Amino acid sequence: MMKKILCAMTAALLAAGCEIEKTIDYDTFYDGDVMILNAFLSVEDGLKATLKKSLAPDNVNGNYKIADATVTLWCGDEMIATAETKNNVDFVVLPSSVSLNHHDSYHVEAVSQSLGRIYSDAMMIPEPVEVVKTTVERYGEEVPEGEDGDLMLWFDNKSATTAYAWESVGFKRGKEKRDNWLGFIRWYKNYGIGMGACVAGHTYRSVHSMYDSVRYDLLTLSDEIVKFCDSKDDYSHTYDDVFYERPYPVYTNMHGGYGFFGTYGRSSVWRD
Looking at residue 186, what is its pLDDT? 47
Reference 71, options 32, 41, 31, 103; nearest CA is 41
For the full predicted model, state whether its pTM sits above 0.95: no
pLDDT (tens, 9 = 90+) of the chain, 272 residues, equals 444 444 455 555 455 555 566 666 666 677 788 999 999 999 999 999 999 999 888 888 889 999 999 999 999 999 999 999 999 999 999 999 999 999 999 999 999 999 999 999 999 999 998 888 888 888 878 887 667 777 788 888 777 778 888 877 788 887 776 544 334 334 555 545 666 666 666 655 555 667 788 888 888 889 898 888 888 877 777 766 767 666 778 899 999 999 999 999 999 988 77
Rounded Cα–Cα distance for residues 166 and 128 (Å)? 12
Region of 172 please: left (phi>0), alpha (psi -120 to 50) or beta. beta
Cβ-based burial of 35 (10 A; exposed 0-12, middle 13-18, buried ≥19): buried
Strand partners, 91: 49, 85
Q: What is the pLDDT of residue 194?
A: 64
Provide DSSP, the chain: -HHHHHHHHHHHHHHHHHHH--------------EEEEEEEETTTEEEEEEEE---GGGTTS----TT-EEEEEETTEEEEE-EESSSSEEEE-GGGS---SSS-EEEEEEETTTEEEEEPPBPPPPPPPEEEEEEEETTEEE-TTSSSEEEEEEEE--TT-EEEEEEEEEETTEEE-S-SS-SSSEEE--SSEEEEEEEEE--HHHHTT-SEEEEEEEEEPHHHHHHHHHHHHHHHHTT-TT-SS--PPP--EESEEEEEEEEEEEEEEE-
Residue-range domains of the chain with CATH: 35-126+252-261 (2.60.40), 131-221 (no CATH)
